[in-house]
Structures are given as C-alpha cells and as structure tokens.
Structure 1
Amino acid sequence: MLTDADRGKAARSKGSRPSPQARKSAKSTGAGSKGRQWRRLWIPDQIGGWAMALMPGLAGLLIGGPTWRNLLLMVAWAFCYCFEFTGSRWMVSHRAARFAPPALGYALLTAVTGLILLVGTPGLLRWAPLYLVLGVLNFAAAWMRTERSWWNDTVAVIAACTLCLIAVSLGSRFQKPGPGLESANSGFFGCQPNPAVDCFASGFLPSAALPSVGVISAAVFAVTQFGSVIFVKTMIRERGKTWCYLLSLAWNLALCLIGVAMVRTAGWWPLLTALVLLVRAALLPAIARQRRIPILYVGLVECATSLLVFILVIAQAGVMTTALTGLLGA
C-alpha cells in the first residue's frame, strides 16, 4: 500500500509532466520565437527606411517606362538594401557570427542579380565608382558605429535618389539609338536598343544617361529625403535641440519657396506637398517635446510623406522638369 508520502510524490510527479496540449503549445511558442528571430535577422524592420530606399527607384521605373532592365535593377536594389542593412549590423557587431548568414546571403543575391544585369547592360558600370565609394563609406560608418551620423544618412540619400535617375535612363521611353548609333556594337545584345546608355558607344557619361526628367526627379527626391533626415533627427536623436528644429523648419520653408516659384508653370501640387512637409516638420517635434512619440509612429509618418512625394514625382515629373529648368535658366 502507498503511504501518504508516496501518494504526494506520485501526485507531484504527475503534475510535473506537461500535458500533450502544453507540449504542443510549447512547440508552437518555440517555433514562433524562431520565426521572429529569423525575421529580425533577415528582414529590415525600418518601415521608413524601406520607403526611402525603394520609392525613388520605383518612381524612376514608372517615369521612364518599365523594361526588363529597370525591373531587374529594382530587384537587385532591394537585395542590395537588405545586404546593406544586414551587413551594417554585422559590421556594427564587429562580425558577430549570428549576423553573418543574412549578410552573406544577401551579398550573394545582390551579386547574382547584379551580374545578370551587367551582362545585359554593361553601361551600368559607369555608376560603379559612385556606388563603390558610397558602399565603402556606409560600411565604414557601420564599423565605427556611426551609422546614424549625418554624413552616413547623406550617403544613403545619394544612393537611393541616384537610382531614380538610373531607372529613368533604362526606361522604355529612352530605348532608341541616338544619332549615328543605330549599328553601334550591334553584335552584342546588351548594347541594344540604346547603345548610348546600355554600353559606352557615346562615351563614359553621355547626355542620354542623364535625361533631364530623371535628373530633376532624382533631385526632388534628394531634397525631400534630406528634409526627412533632418526631421527624423529632431524626433529621435536630436529631440529637443532647438538648432536642429530650426534647421528642419528652414529646409522645408525653402522647399515651400521653390514651390511658390513653380506655381505659374507647375501648378499648386508641388507647393501643397511642400506645405504638408513643413507642417509635419513644425508640429510633430513640438509635440515630441511634451511627450515622446514612438519610433514606429515616426516611421509611419515618413512612409506617408514619402508616398506623397512619390505620387507627386510620378504624376508631375515632366511639368516639374519644365518648370525647374526654366527657373534655372537651362
């Protein structure tokens, strides 16, 4: 017969065994934890960063007209952004082992898509020196753990906005040979249908690789994105600092003045967009002085304003190009 002590031990032993439902729940919890860990390691989690990285290139694709070249360019750029994000984190950690697989995986994907693109469009090598310098600066900032510095944010803006120009130049609107180039390098498929851009038939940096609508569109993205950089600084790292707040106001006010100058030739939309950016730059940092606004909300605001600029650029790229070139006397 069992004594009371034996019965207690048996009860405790029975109670210590998890039920099948508990074991199943533990397994699902573990799987969910692994899934979240995988996402944290492999998927960039900055909503505003995705918008600022991809929207200029997507706008260039739509303005220039979709082709397999600029479509593949965007795929390669998306992989490149993921490589930059994961690679920077690997560098910040000074090569911690757990950050290596995502960085190496995205490096491989970027290299494969990039090489395919270069085989069909060797003229893209004209942009290699610029992006090589930008890449070195970016990873140097990560290694020095200054990846949130002003100069590294400027590097990111230049990289993303230049892609708008490149995507426009590869678009279907510009896929026709220039004067005297109809038969240039016709033996290599990568040089057609635009030898001036897709190869080097007109020199290293011909005018065909710098279409005015692409230059202006990239410039619009650049000035608005740098304004976003200043705004985000006022909300997070420079929160409460008057000089940064005034710089943000001055930058966005300058955009409004440019919009005013463009009203006669480009209509009201550029000015209205600039006013929205100015109101954001004026009100939200003032609110943040009283109570902290979560970073997620700041990212969502930047997504919304990036989308607004994106719509403006693709809807009025030609009109703004005419207006701005007229203002500049070009």
Structure 2
Amino acid sequence: MSRSRAPGWVPNQHGAWAMLASPLAVGILAGGPAWVHLPLAAFWFVGYFAFFATTLWLKARRRPRYWPPVRAYAVAAGVLGLVTLAMQPRLMVWAPLFALPLGVGLWAAAARRERELLSGLATVVGSGLMTVVAYAAGPGTDLSRAWLLALVQFLYFGGTVFYVKSAIRERGNRRFLLLSVAAHAAATVVVLVFSPWLALVFLVLTVRAALVPPLGASPKQLGIGEIASTVVVAVVSLLTV
C-alpha cells in the first residue's frame, strides 16, 4: 500500500456491492422510482464507504493515518442524508432501525471480530432494511409487500454469509457446512409460504450450499455465482411476491 495514500478510501469487500445494490434496486422497482432515490442511492453508497473506512480506523486502534477517509466520507454522507431528508422528511422515521446493525458492525470492528457470524448477519439486516426505505421513498403504498421483499433479501444474503464462510474460512468444517445447509433449507420453507417459485430458487441455493463448498471453488468463482443468484432472487421476488 502506498504510503502517500491513507487506507480506507476504496472498499475491498467485493461481496458488499451486491448487498448494497440489490435491496436498493428491489425497493425502487417495487415501489416505483422518484427523484428522491437519486440522493438516497448516493447516500447509501457513500454511507457504506464511511462505514468501511470507520471499521478500518477502529481496527487500527484509531491511528491518524486511517482518519482522512472517515472524515471525508462521513461529511459527504451527512450532506447527502440532509438532501434526502429535505426532499422526503418522512424517511427520517426509518433511521432508528439502522442503529442496532450499525452499532454491532462498529463494535465488531473495534473488537476485531468483524469476520464472525454475528457481524455478517448484522450487516445483512442493515442491508435488507434499505428495501423498505427505498420502497417508502417512492409512490408505493403496500408496505406489507415491501417488508416481504425485505425478508427475501434478509434470507438470501443471510444464507450467503453462511455459504461463503463454509466455502472459504470454514472449508472442511462439516458442522458449519451442515449449519449452512440448514439455514438455506429453513429459508426455503419460509419463502414457500408466499412464493412457490421463489421457494424453488431457494431450494436450488440449498443444493448449492451443500455441494459447492466441498468442491473447493475459488473466491472468483463464488463471486460470479453470487452475482447470478442475486439477480435471479431479485427478479423472481419482484415478479412473484
């Protein structure tokens, strides 16, 4: 890493991009687009940049070298957040819901436990909530559908946390593999209640969770598969939920 540039400016967690884009896109498409979605989307992504930079700063025991991107992204996110609220003040009602997942993520970084399951699932919760926020920002009025779509995002990305961990950090851990398969199977049963077609997609993901990790897929192969499955889950959920 170049000493002339502080770390934290560019997030290196490639899997986070799908987790940012999918809930936002699903919420916008389900509820209908509005001008406020432009600053909201910018706030969402810049806010993630601020979160990522802050986690690095906390992990580094608040070393000054890690502070510049925290400051820059926090200010930018604050401005974008104010613009969003100026256009749609009622969105402020959703802000408290993000406090817990955000707090867990920052605590995990400070404790250097950001790779643990709790931290990953907390991130999933925060991500999925954007489905409802993006929906509420548009002209849509069926919040019950928005929450169902958010639930699909929770279940899918929650399964992804188990799946990727079972294929990389916990590869060879049979108990964790079984836990991952069980989590996918449970998600399949849940979505079967309101969307048989989506349940079929989750059934395929359950089979994938059982078969792929023991084969030793590379991170690149896992990433390509995740992009495809994220799109499929989003499209099928929009069409059938």
TM-score w.r.t. the length of structure 1 is: 0.67
- Give the secondary structure class of the aligned counterpart of 2:33: coil
For residues 93 and 187 of structure 2, the distance between their equivalents in structure 1, rounded to whole angstroms, comes to: 31
Q: Which amino acid is 2:221 matched to?
A: Y
Tell me if structure 2 keeps the 8 A contact 1:164–1:214. yes
Relative to 1, partners in 2 of residues 1:128 and 1:213: Cα closer, same or farther, differing over 3 Å? same
Q: CA deviation at 1:117?
A: 1.3
Tell me if structure 1 keeps the 8 A contact 2:91–2:136. no
Q: CA deviation at 1:161?
A: 0.4
159, 162, 169: which one pairs with 2:126?
A: 159
For residues 193 and 70 of structure 2, the distance between their equivalents in structure 1, rounded to whole angstroms, comes to: 46
Q: Which amino acid is 1:138 matched to?
A: G
Residue in structure 2 matched with residue 255 of structure 1 by the alignment:
187
Tell me if structure 2 keeps the 8 A contact 1:47–1:303. no
1:171-228 per-position Cα deviation (integer Å, ceiling 9, x unaligned): 1234xxxxxxxxxxxxxxxxxxxxxxxxxxxxxxxxxxx7111010000110111111
Q: Is the radius of gyration larger for structure 1 or structure 2?
A: 1
Residue in structure 2 matched with residue 237 of structure 1 by the alignment:
169
- Give the secondary structure class of the aligned counterpart of 2:169: coil
- Give the secondary structure class of the aligned counterpart of 2:140: helix
Q: Which amino acid is 2:58 matched to?
A: M
- Give the secondary structure class of the aligned counterpart of 2:212: helix
1:100-138 per-position Cα deviation (integer Å, ceiling 9, x unaligned): 222211111110000111223222222222223332221
2:41 aligned with 1:58, yes or no? no
Residue in structure 2 matched with residue 307 of structure 1 by the alignment:
231
The number of aligned residues is 240
For residues 49 and 133 of structure 1, the distance between their equivalents in structure 2, rounded to whole angstroms, comes to: 19
- Give the secondary structure class of the aligned counterpart of 2:112: coil
- Give the secondary structure class of the aligned counterpart of 1:168: helix
For residues 192 and 237 of structure 2, the distance between their equivalents in structure 1, rounded to whole angstroms, comes to: 17
Residue in structure 2 matched with residue 202 of structure 1 by the alignment:
none
Q: CA deviation at 1:96?
A: 2.6
What stretches of structure 1 of length at least 5 have no aligned partner?
Answer: 1-32, 175-209, 321-330
Residue in structure 1 matched with residue 199 of structure 2 by the alignment:
271
1:48-79 per-position Cα deviation (integer Å, ceiling 9, x unaligned): 11101221111101110111223321211011
For residues 251 and 310 of structure 1, the distance between their equivalents in structure 2, rounded to whole angstroms, comes to: 19
Tell me if structure 2 keeps the 8 A contact 1:61–1:71. no
What stretches of structure 2 of length at least 5 have no aligned partner?
Answer: none
Q: Which amino acid is 1:142 matched to?
A: A
For residues 10 and 239 of structure 2, the distance between their equivalents in structure 1, rounded to whole angstroms, comes to: 31
For residues 275 and 137 of structure 1, the distance between their equivalents in structure 2, rounded to whole angstroms, comes to: 30
Q: CA deviation at 1:259?
A: 5.4
Q: CA deviation at 1:301?
A: 2.4
For residues 301 and 40 of structure 1, the distance between their equivalents in structure 2, rounded to whole angstroms, comes to: 29
198, 208, 214: which one pairs with 1:280?
A: 208
Residue in structure 2 matched with residue 168 of structure 1 by the alignment:
135
- Between 1:303-312 and 1:215-224, the stretch displaced more is 303-312
Tell me if structure 1 keeps the 8 A contact 2:11–2:49. yes
Tell me if structure 2 keeps the 8 A contact 1:48–1:300. no
Q: CA deviation at 1:300?
A: 2.8
Q: Which amino acid is 1:93 matched to?
A: A
Runs of 4+ in 1 over 4 A off after TM superposition: 37-40, 258-262
Residue in structure 2 matched with residue 225 of structure 1 by the alignment:
157
Q: Which amino acid is 2:140 matched to?
A: R
- Give the secondary structure class of the aligned counterpart of 2:58: helix
TM-score w.r.t. the length of structure 2 is: 0.90
Q: Which amino acid is 2:175 matched to?
A: W
Tell me if structure 2 keeps the 8 A contact 1:255–1:274. yes
- Give the secondary structure class of the aligned counterpart of 1:117: helix
Tell me if structure 2 keeps the 8 A contact 1:61–1:168. yes
71, 81, 85: which one pairs with 1:104?
A: 71
92, 95, 102: which one pairs with 2:62?
A: 95
Please give the residue correspondences for 1:135-146 in structure 2 after superposition, counting only pairs within 5 Å.
135-146=102-113
Please give the residue correspondences for 1:99-138 in structure 2 after superposition, counting only pairs within 5 Å.
99-138=66-105
- Give the secondary structure class of the aligned counterpart of 1:172: coil
Q: CA deviation at 1:295?
A: 2.6
For residues 64 and 38 of structure 1, the distance between their equivalents in structure 2, rounded to whole angstroms, comes to: 41
